[in-house]
Amino acid sequence: MIVAEQKPIEEIKNYLTGHKRILVLGCGTCVTVCLAGGEKEVATLASLLRLSGNFEIEENTIERQCDAEFFGDIKDQAASCDAILSMACGVGVQMTARTFPEKPVYPALNTMFCGTNDGAGQWSENCLACGDCKLGIFGGVCPLTRCSKSLLNGPCGGSVDGRCEVDPENIECGWQLIYDRLKTLGRLDVLDENAPPRDWSRTHDGGPRKLSREDVAGL
Amino acid sequence: MVEYEYKSGSNLEKVLCGGGFAVTAELGPPKSADFDLIKKKVELLKDWVDAVNITDNQTAIVRVSSIAAGKLILDLGLEPIIQVTCRDRNRLSIQSDILGAYLLGIRNVLCLTGDHQSCGNHPTAKHVFDIDSIQLIAMVKNMRDKKVFECGEEIKSSKKAEIKEPRMFIGAAANPFADPFEFRVIRLKKKINAGADFIQTQCIYDMDRFEKWMEQVRSKGLHEKCRILAGVTPLKSLGMAKYMRDEVAGVTVPDYYIERIAKADDPKAEGVKICVEQIQKLCQIEGVAGVHIMAIEWEEKVPEIVQKAGLRE
């Protein structure tokens, strides 16, 4: 899922300065699951903003802010407000801005990464959405994401006791994970091959990416 | 009679390929536009080493560019080994710099991944890592031997122009002390397969582990495919010994060296003595083709170490 966290309240209030009536808009998908921008978080933030006494707050949560079809029910509510505070990821914020071109739309969250839930209150980054998945080669551990230097022929000299030199306490050495996994699978031979330079044009370096699929275009 | 054709013709290549025991040192360029400091370090090292590594923004701290410093050092009569990391430049920039360095007379290059920017003085910078050190080695080798750029195009200015390729003697680093230990020799093999002509190791203190690593290296015949220079760093003080042990990722300092420095009346002299003993032991290990002396901000001790180790008179 896309993992996000709420911005500091002061930053949010700064955005809202000069506006009176605000729609706090949650999203029912990823940010609900990671407890950053779902119905509950909308209610908490809305109360906090009401308490500050400066705003009239409307609140709502739609199923997905990344999809235009879910905005129909909130059109009138949005029209009655001067600004929208979106509690979605960056994708949802942009879709909201596109749906209401006349309204200022502000982000209440910082979008962090595509990641896993590692237990209560813990998430970690696992996928860079690089557009050219090589997990099949590397034993199901992504070197681009899990190695701080995105090395394809790692590990570098900074790997000690399975930890990464960048932050040994908090970051595992991705290449230790790859090595251990391939060892378990009996596929250490894979590492003898030198991986060639990556084609970054499939990633954001080729410009903002688009996907068109004719097979589903008519549905 | 077939004459041996040098790949680059550098002094270091001639020493290593002639079966000599090479001595290299490290010269960190200044953190300011200070030519005198470069000159001073060259004067200290000039008559004592075969070539000197010029670091590339080492530990991710901004310094004079390794190629610019390398050219100045070359003009002062010492042969540079230009370090190139993948942290700050992409494949276009590195290839352009290799062409430029070659035109400036530089013939040795050491291909490194590079320390992460979080270690240095611009931790909020964006890193590059377009390619990694192994891909870098292959790229510089293909420029030299296949005479092509990374994209496959021939190295010539126009269709009708002559091919003019940069011919570098290619080095790589190896760290026998990082983890996973079993992977360290595989990684060395990958670097040799990519095209490394010589290897300089991370500084060695744990001689037993290094010997164990060399055994694995020899069992795979890797010492015959490439020249291995063993890295040493003299310990300047007890504080430094502890720092190297505790703070530097991938470096281990055994307690018996820490104790020797701690008990010594003159810790600096003891540090030099340990370094000399290490070099003498390293010379005896089959497959070690030279030493790389990284006297960190202590270049003035290199002549004494080289002399006492019996490497030069």
Angle CA B215–B221–B225, to nearest 5:
125
Residue A121 resides in a domain = no
Of A150, A155, A188, nearest to B129 by CB-CB distance is A150
Element (H, E) at B290: strand B288-293
> Are A96 and A175 in the same domain?
no
pLDDT in tens, A104-162: 999 999 999 999 999 999 999 999 999 999 999 999 999 999 999 999 998 998 888 89
Residue B9 resides in a domain = no
Predicted confidence at residue A34, as pLDDT, reads 97
Q: What CATH code is carried by the domain that includes residue A18?
A: 3.40.50.2300
Residue A211 has pLDDT above 60, yes or no: yes
Residue A173 resides in a domain = yes
> Are A26 and A51 in the same domain?
yes
Residue A70 has pLDDT above 80, yes or no: yes
Residue A216 resides in a domain = no
Residue A178 resides in a domain = yes
Residue B132 contacts residue A151 (beta carbons within 8 Å): yes
Predicted confidence at residue A119, as pLDDT, reads 94
**Interval B252-257 mean pLDDT:** 93
- A81-98 b/e with 16+ CB inside 10 Å = b? bebbbbbbbebbbbbbbe
Residue A119 resides in a domain = no
Q: What CATH code is carried by the domain that includes residue B84?
A: 3.20.20.220
> Are A9 and A78 in the same domain?
yes
> Are A95 and A162 in the same domain?
no
Q: Which of A51, A81, A112 is the last residue of a domain?
A: A112
Residue among B119, B128, B134 with most chain A CBs within 10 A, to mutate: B134
> Are A40 and A135 in the same domain?
no
Residue A118 resides in a domain = no
Predicted confidence at residue B177, as pLDDT, reads 87
**Where on the phi/psi map is residue B26: left (φ > 0), alpha (ψ -120 to 50), or beta?**
beta
If you search the block for the tokens 């269709």, which residue do you land on?
A: B159
Q: Which residues contact A118 (CB under 8 A, 6 or more apart)?
A: A124
- Domain boundaries, position B163: 18-308
Residue A213 resides in a domain = no
**What's chain A's average pLDDT?**
96
Give the C-alpha separation, A147 to A198, whole Å.
15
Residues of A at the B interface, defined by Cβ within 8 angstroms: 148-162, 165-168, 173, 175-176, 179-180, 188, 191-192, 194-198, 200
If you search the block for the tokens 């964006």, which residue do you land on?
A: B126
If you search the block for the tokens 């003080």, which residue do you land on?
A: B237
Order of strands, sheet of A21-27, starting from the edge strand that comes earlier in the sequence: A56-62, A21-27, A83-86, A105-107
Q: What would the two tokens of residue B160 be?
A: 């009708």
> Are A133 and A36 in the same domain?
no
Residue A217 has pLDDT above 90, yes or no: no
Residue B274 resides in a domain = yes
Q: Whole-model pTM?
A: 0.94
**Interval B23-52 mean pLDDT:** 97
Total domains in the fold of chain A: 2
**Interval B111-126 mean pLDDT:** 95
Decide if B123 touches A, using CB distance below 8 A: no
Angle CA B67–B69–B72, to nearest 5:
110
Residues 177-196 of B with CB under 8 A from A: 178-180, 183, 186-187, 189-190, 193-194
Q: Which of A80, A112, A144 is the last residue of a domain?
A: A112
pLDDT band at B2; cut points 50, 70, 90:
low
Q: What would the two tokens of residue B85 be?
A: 């990391």
Residue B12 resides in a domain = no
Residue A122 resides in a domain = no
Assess: ipTM above 0.90: yes
Nearest CA in chain A to B120: A166
- Domain boundaries, position A86: 2-112
pLDDT in tens, A175-199: 999 999 999 999 999 999 999 999 9
Residue A28 contacts residue A38 (beta carbons within 8 Å): yes
Predicted confidence at residue A209, as pLDDT, reads 96
Total domains in the fold of chain B: 1
pLDDT in tens, B55-110: 999 999 999 999 999 999 999 999 999 999 999 999 999 999 999 999 999 999 99
**Interval B148-170 mean pLDDT:** 97
Predicted confidence at residue B3, as pLDDT, reads 62
Q: What would the two tokens of residue A16 be?
A: 């809202």
> Are A19 and A66 in the same domain?
yes
Percent of chain B with pLDDT over 90: 92
Residue B240 has pLDDT above 80, yes or no: yes
> Are A8 and A90 in the same domain?
yes
If you search the block for the tokens 């002559």, which residue do you land on?
A: B162
